[in-house]
Amino acid sequence: ICLSNSETPGVAGPWLCSRWQLSGLTSPPASVCRLFHDHPETLDRFERFKGLTTPDQMKASEDLKKHGVTVLTQLGKILKLKGKHEAELKPLAQTHATKHKIPVKYLEFISEVIIKVIAEKHSADFGADSQAAMKKALELFRNDMASKYKEFGFQG
């Protein structure tokens, strides 16, 4: 399964609209804060963020801002490769499987949150077709991560 030529703009356009907002951020990206708020169990994987229990604490965290920018930048690079992401994906999967031990379910959580946040912030440019394309692209990413996890002996 891969994105069709007609689905690609539905991912690229909204992603680029969101991505440009990463430079000059004064607080963590909304999708990362939303992930920790909606799925507090994900905080268990991040020792340095465990004390961030309120939205205000999350918004004030420089470490969380840096982490969020790193996550979204890396994901953006992978999405731009339109499925030809083996070189980018392998080291990411390796660290997530062997060092951080991030379950695939958590990748599903962040994917859902990213779609919600982009839909809220860019509703005019992120209709049903774009949301479906983004969902498909992120599902492909998760499936590829899950396959790599198995190669590294992590069932995640």
For residue 92, being part of any structural domain is answered with yes
Q: Provide the domain count of the chain.
A: 1
- Neighbour tally for 72: CB within 10 Å: 20
For residue 17, being part of any structural domain is answered with yes
Full domain range(s) for residue 23: 8-151
- In 81-127, which ranges are continuous DSSP H helix? 86-94, 104-121
Residue 19 has pLDDT above 60, yes or no: no
- The Cα–Cα gap between 142 and 156 comes to 11
- In 20-102, which ranges are continuous DSSP H helix? 30-38, 55-60, 62-80, 86-94
Q: For 123-154, how does the pLDDT look when each residue is reduced to its tens digit (9 = 90+)? A: 887 888 888 888 988 999 999 999 999 999 99
For residue 16, being part of any structural domain is answered with yes
- DSSP 8-state code for residue 66: H
Looking at residue 143, its pLDDT comes to: 94
- The Cα–Cα gap between 104 and 51 comes to 24
Instruction: Quote helix, strand, coil % in the chain, to nearest 5.
Output: 75, 0, 25
Identify the three-state secondary structure at position 59: helix
CATH code where residue 121 lies:
1.10.490.10
For residue 3, being part of any structural domain is answered with no
For residue 80, being part of any structural domain is answered with yes
Q: For 82-113, how does the pLDDT look when each residue is reduced to its tens digit (9 = 90+)? A: 778 889 999 999 999 999 999 999 999 999 99
pTM: 0.83
Name the token pair of 143: 């499936």
